[in-house]
Every structure is written in C-alpha cells, then in structure tokens.
Amino acid sequence: MKRVALFPGSFDPFTRGHEDIVLRGLNLFDEIVISIGYNSGKSQRYFAIEQMMAKIRETFKSYPQISVVTYAELTAEFAKKNGAKYLLRGLRNTTDFEYENSIAQVNRHLNQELESVFLITSPQFASINSSIIREVHRYKGDVSGFLPYNL
C-alpha cells in the first residue's frame, strides 16, 4: 500500500524549514502532498496562494512524488478524500508541540485512520518563522536566506 502523507499549512510563506521537513519526509512516505489550506483564523494572506503554489512547485520540480494542492475544508476530511493516512508536521520547540498535539488529537477524533507524524526541525532552521519573514519582507529586508526560492 502506498504511504501518502499530507503536509498541511498556510505556508505564508513556505520556508527552508518547511522544505527540510518535506525532503526528510521522503524517507518515510511514498508521496507527500503539500496542502495549502485556507485558514479561517487568518483574515488575509500576505503572499497569494497562487504565488506560493508556483514557488513550491518550482522548489520540488525534480521530485515527482511531491505535489502541491489547496483545500478549504477540515484537514481530516481532506486527508480521507485523498487517501492520505498520515499528516507530516514539523516541530521547532515545545510551544509547537503543544499546539500540534491538540490539532493531532482532534484530527484523530475526526478521522481514526489518520496518524500525525512529527519531525523535529533541523537546528539550522529552528529559528525560521513565517511571521517574522513576512515582517522582514514588508520592510524591504533580505529574506533570501530563509526561503528556498526567490521572491
């Protein structure tokens, strides 16, 4: 059976830390679907979803087992509809763990076949945070070291 994992997130923007988790996840899964969700808790994106999809696809163009999609529903339901039995998530710190643990418990309740798999962020990427990158970019700072593509 093919092991399909969703890597869900808002990816506003998609960072080198995200890239690292996806590439390491290829050691565990046959296919990874980077799933850009419409987050109801965020009023507006900084980078357009279409722009992020194009940048992420370009980043992984040499990896046919990685795809990029968008979705606007519960992640647990989206996983079920797409035959994904795993959610791939990265953890930078204990705050991430507390947040991700709560989400994993709810997803498991909604879809009993869905397992959340957590990878600890590689040390060189632990400080990368999408919110900080957006702020640096907003004020014309150089964000190239934090992203696997050029803006």
Q: What is the set of active-site residues?
A: 18, 42, 92, 130
Rounded CA separation 36/10 (Å): 5
d(CA 62, CA 57) in angstroms, rounded, equals 9
Q: Which residues pair with 127 in a beta bridge?
A: none
Q: Rg of the chain over CA atoms, in angstroms?
A: 15
d(CA 72, CA 36): 9
Could you tell me how many helices (H) and strands (E) the chain has, helices first? Answer: 5, 5
Cβ-proximal residues to 48 (8 Å cutoff; 6+ apart), any chain: none
